[in-house]
């Protein structure tokens, strides 16, 4: 984190890049932990650096020689997560201003950032031109619920998931509104799959095939970051902290607390355990400094969620 409260994407080649994804995840953690002052500081960071005049949120800003350059597009999932966190923060801290800000962001998010009654991945904030694709993991049930019954987005999003085909144990990656078709990746990213599985569970939809796949992979150990869609065999040799963290939330949604605890135990073995290291507890390769804010914020949320009750990221 910088002195101004911005969360670096990493501490090597992307340390001057800051993502709205990181703010949203951190705001949820701060609500969960009842850290009122830090929550207020992050809302100020959001308003100062990321919030566009349209009330959508730039998905990325970058410090280039002391000048902050802001992306001209948003990311629906990141905006929605922030809306969710602001509503939760308003309730938790008794601050109506947070709900008012959430309302302001939700208005364009449920109007210009939609097409055919569904959210879209992004909007060009200069032109209001919306994309044609929604990534299924973007369908944040908690955020859609907070946005209120006046919007049909909640029902439409649930129906989109319910009607999506499976490929073996794997979920579709996205839906294209211009062609009315679902798409699958040939190389399955398990972060995306765990997120989609979590969304299905949030909406009360079945995930038994994916659950059986994940359970088998975990029991045989370890779970890898990517798999071949056709053969369901690993295509990489690494584990993903984000996969394990998302699996904790997924399993909690299924009522599988004991399994979620075992997954958390595995996740914690990947953290720095050297008590003399300034990175103790962090999800980082201390030999290369390779890390990512996402791979630290999700485990932080998941660990807090197991201890104290959870907010789905």
**What average pLDDT does the structure give for the chain?**
96
Q: Which pLDDT score, from 0 to 100, does residue 307 have?
A: 85
CA 22 to chain centre: 9
Q: Which pLDDT score, from 0 to 100, does residue 61 have?
A: 97
| Domain annotation covers residue 167 | no
Q: Are 52 and 74 in contact (CB under 8 A)?
A: yes
| Domain annotation covers residue 60 | yes
Q: Which pLDDT score, from 0 to 100, does residue 160 have?
A: 98
Q: Are 8 and 17 in contact (CB under 8 A)?
A: yes
| Domain annotation covers residue 89 | yes
pLDDT one-digit tens code per residue, 150-181: 679 999 999 999 999 999 999 999 999 999 99
Q: Which pLDDT score, from 0 to 100, does residue 153 have?
A: 94
By residue range, what is the domain housing residue 2? 1-111
Q: Which pLDDT score, from 0 to 100, does residue 150 have?
A: 60
- Judge whether residue 122 has pLDDT over 90: yes
| Domain annotation covers residue 90 | yes
Phi then psi for residue 238, to 5 deg, are: -105, 155
| Domain annotation covers residue 69 | yes
| Domain annotation covers residue 28 | yes
Task: Please report how many Cα atoms fall inside a 13 Å half-sphere around the Cα of residue 27, on the Cβ side.
Answer: 31
| Domain annotation covers residue 39 | yes
Helices (H), the chain: 20-32, 36-45, 76-93, 96-109, 141-146, 153-163, 190-202, 208-220, 241-253, 257-269, 293-308
| Domain annotation covers residue 84 | yes
Mean pLDDT of 120-132: 96
- Judge whether residue 149 has pLDDT over 80: no
Q: Which pLDDT score, from 0 to 100, does residue 203 have?
A: 97
Number of domains in the chain: 1
pLDDT one-digit tens code per residue, 189-243: 999 999 999 999 999 999 999 999 999 999 999 999 999 999 999 999 999 999 9
Q: Is the pTM of the predicted complex or chain greater than 0.75?
A: yes
- State the sign of the Cα–Cα–Cα–Cα dihedral 90, 148, 194, 176: negative
Q: Which residues, listed in sequence order, are joined to residue 60 by a DSSP beta bridge?
A: 19
């Amino acid at each position: 984190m910088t002195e101004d409260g911005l969360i670096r994407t990493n501490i090597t080649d992307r340390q001057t890049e800051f993502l709205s994804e990181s703010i949203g995840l951190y705001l949820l953690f701060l609500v969960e932990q009842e850290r009122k002052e830090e929550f207020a500081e992050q809302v100020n960071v959001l308003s100062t650096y990321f919030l566009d005049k349209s009330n959508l949120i730039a998905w990325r800003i970058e410090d280039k020689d002391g000048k902050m350059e802001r992306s001209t597009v948003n990311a629906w999932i990141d905006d929605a997560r922030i809306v969710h966190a602001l509503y939760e923060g308003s309730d938790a801290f008794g601050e109506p201003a947070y709900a008012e800000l959430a309302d302001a962001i939700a208005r364009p998010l449920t109007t210009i950032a939609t097409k055919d009654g569904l959210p879209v991945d992004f909007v060009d904030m200069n032109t209001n031109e919306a994309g044609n694709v929604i990534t299924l993991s973007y369908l944040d049930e908690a955020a859609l619920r907070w946005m209120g019954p006046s919007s049909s987005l909640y029902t439409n999003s649930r129906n989109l998931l319910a009607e999506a085909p499976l490929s073996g144990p794997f979920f579709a990656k996205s839906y294209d509104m211009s062609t009315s078709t679902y798409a699958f990746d040939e190389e399955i990213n398990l972060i995306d799959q765990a997120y989609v599985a979590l969304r299905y569970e949030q909406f009360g939809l079945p995930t038994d095939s994916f659950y059986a796949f994940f359970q088998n992979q975990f029991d045989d150990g370890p779970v890898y970051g990517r798999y071949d869609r056709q053969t369901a065999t690993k295509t990489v040799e690494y584990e993903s902290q984000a996969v394990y963290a998302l699996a904790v939330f997924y399993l909690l949604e299924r009522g599988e607390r004991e399994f979620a605890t075992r997954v958390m135990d595995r996740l914690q073995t990947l953290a720095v355990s050297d008590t003399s290291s300034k990175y103790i507890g962090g999800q980082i390769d201390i030999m290369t400094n390779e890390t990512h804010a996402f791979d630290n914020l999700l485990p932080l949320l998941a660990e807090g969620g197991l201890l104290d009750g959870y907010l789905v990221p």
